[in-house]
Structure 1
Amino acid sequence: MANIIKPVKIIDFIFSVFLLSIFLVSCGGKETNDSQEQVEEIQQVDHSNSTLLTINGEIFSIPSPIQTALLIKELGSNYNKEMLNPPKGSEAYPTKFQKAINLGVYGADMGYVTIYDQTQDALLYLKYIKGIAEDLGVMGAFDKTLLERFEKNMGNQDSILILVSDAYRASDSYLKNQERNDIGVLILVGGFVESLHFAIQAAEQKNDPELIKRIGEQKSSLENVIKLLSPYYQKEEFKEITDLLIDLAEDFDAVEYVYIYEKPTTDVATKTTTINSRTEVKISDEQFKTIASSVKKLRSKIIS
């Protein structure tokens, strides 16, 4: 199936993690013929690509935490609950800044546990995410009835597919009437850092070239994340986290992208051409260790 990436609004990206997590928790059973194509479209995420976000008319490329979790599982890494941020009491994150950025962290964690079919853990994270989202006032995208329908239809695949569609429409309508980009950016940053943390933890346990490449590819994504935060730099909490991300970007400066050209091949019968050229990411062991150390410091600051 061809993967078509379209620019989306930031709220769609944020809730895509939330909704896909619910979907994965709910859809562990049988599939009907009528919904087969829809199921594949939702579950078949191309982990080699990023999501394009449109914010204030500018397009940013940011990887989805779901993509990273899928890659980690595909490469044979075992489920590791220890690397997640465990749900804490509401007093753990008293400010809106802390709630928003950790909502992104927990969204990535929930995506990870559902990718690994850890239903009970996923339900725990779902409950906690809902609590934080309500505190932030971003649950306005989903009315109480819609959320109750999600919970009641856990396990009913066809119903969940319909509810996911309803929820996307609700989130789009909500954004048209709300200006919450500062909160949205923080949620995105939390998810980005957590998914990078996943990749580094997995790479430390399983030194797979594909994982190392995925980490190296975050060089350009990190630049986009910093740009997203820049309008809020004068705010103290934003400044502190942005400076840590800038430090991380300096660590990534040593990562090299090498383009390797290979002649494309054409299938005359099907009239299709396959592009064989590729980009290799060069990152030394020492560079990896430096990046890993900075990510741990950054994540510790976020979740503490």
Structure 2
Amino acid sequence: MKNNLTKLAALSVLVSFFLFSTSCGSSDKSKDKAEDLAAAEFDAAEQELENEIDKVIHDLPAPSEVPFLLEATGADFRAEFVNDLSKVESYLTSNDKSALNLGVYAADIGYLSSYNQAQEALDYMEGCQKMADKIGIASAFDMSLLARFEKSIGNNDSLALIINEAIKVAEEKLEAGDRLTMAALVLAGSFVEGLYISTQVIEQYPADQLSESNRDVILEPLMRIVLNQKMALLDLISVLKHVEQDETIANVISEMNILRFQYEELAELEQKINNNEGGVVLHQHDLQKLATEIQRVRKDITG
């Protein structure tokens, strides 16, 4: 299992051994109790981490939710908002890159599907299959799922369900296979890409067709979605801190903390809006700093 959980179990063994040896001697019965206690501590820590992952999943919008909200704004489809599919082969050089960008492409598929970019969405599904195979969960994007996706082209609701199902299966398989680090990275990639697409739509919404106030009214539901992702971000940071630490995880945590700082700067505005204080509305420029940081973090993941 992961290093921090292993250390926790080892510490429990040492503490338990000390307590039992000073009070009951070195009997086999005491040793068995110490080992049972260590195992229980280990299992509890593992379950806590899985619960934290589930909490992130619960707090995040589904991969299909934000894209359909984007379409509702009336904004035109922008091909440059999705990550270039030609990069797939470069991501297959490592499990970490595959996991992060599997999450990225899952969010992209939702965006493509919501704008009826059928063939492109199918191509991205096939790209996801390659990365899922790289991290050992190919069955989450198997041929039967691809066939269902192809048959559902033109039915956005069905496509949304299939996308959500694939990601859910991927996460469950990673948890079951004791690959919680990979699960955390998939979540991080999906989180960043969802925010990236959302903030790009907000920033680049046509300024010459509507007045600023009318644009803010149209974009407000989407801006609220972005603003409300603070809790999911905090949950994600917690998960990343509890999985095995390496250079990739440390870098992702650092980037997520930068985003957290941007959300903290918006805390006062968020509170006023949630309290329905008169005259307080969201404007495009309120999210500009956050959007800039998200763009930078996303470039680091997908570059």
Normalised TM-score (structure 2)? 0.65
1:173 CA drift (Å)? 8.1
Unaligned runs of 5+ in 1: 1-53, 263-276
* RMSD value, Cα: 3.6
Q: Following the alignment from structure 2 to structure 1, what is the Cα–Cα distance between the partners of residues 114 and 154?
A: 18
Q: 1:169 to 1:111 in 2, by over 3 A?
A: closer
Mapped pair 1:238 → 2:249: yes
Which moves more between the two structures, 127-136 or 163-172? 163-172
Count the aligned residue pairs: 233
Which moves more between the two structures, 283-292 or 94-103? 283-292
Mapped pair 1:127 → 2:126: yes
Q: Following the alignment from structure 1 to structure 2, what is the Cα–Cα distance between the partners of residues 69 and 133?
A: 22
- The structure carrying a bigger helix percent of its residues is 2
1:212 CA drift (Å)? 2.2
Q: Following the alignment from structure 1 to structure 2, what is the Cα–Cα distance between the partners of residues 225 and 169?
A: 16
Equivalent positions of 1:98-117 (< 5 A) are 98-117=97-116
Number of the residue aligned with 1:213: 224
What secondary structure does 1:258 align onto?
helix
Q: 1:76 to 1:153 in 2, by over 3 A?
A: closer
Number of the residue aligned with 2:237: 226
Q: Following the alignment from structure 2 to structure 1, what is the Cα–Cα distance between the partners of residues 151 and 79?
A: 26
Q: Percent identity?
A: 26
Q: Following the alignment from structure 1 to structure 2, what is the Cα–Cα distance between the partners of residues 178 and 286?
A: 44
Unaligned runs of 5+ in 2: 1-47, 206-214
Normalised TM-score (structure 1)? 0.65
Q: Please point out which of 74, 77, 84 is paired with 1:76.
A: 74
Which moves more between the two structures, 253-262 or 231-240? 253-262
Amino acid at match of 1:294: E
Q: 1:282 to 1:131 in 2, by over 3 A?
A: same
Number of the residue aligned with 1:28: none
Number of the residue aligned with 2:271: 258
- The structure carrying a bigger strand percent of its residues is 1
Contact 2:104 2:189 in 1 (8 A): yes
Contact 2:67 2:114 in 1 (8 A): yes
1:185 CA drift (Å)? 1.4
Q: 1:242 to 1:171 in 2, by over 3 A?
A: closer
* Runs of at least 4 residues off by over 4 Å: 141-144, 151-157, 163-177, 259-262, 277-287
Q: 1:168 to 1:292 in 2, by over 3 A?
A: closer
Amino acid at match of 2:293: S
Q: Following the alignment from structure 1 to structure 2, what is the Cα–Cα distance between the partners of residues 66 and 116?
A: 11
Structure with larger Rg: 2
Contact 1:258 1:282 in 2 (8 A): no
Equivalent positions of 1:31-180 (< 5 A) are 56-58=50-52, 59-60=55-56, 61-93=59-91, 94-141=93-140, 146-147=144-145, 149-150=147-148, 153=151, 174=173, 177-180=176-179
Amino acid at match of 1:300: K
Q: Following the alignment from structure 2 to structure 1, what is the Cα–Cα distance between the partners of residues 226 and 271?
A: 15
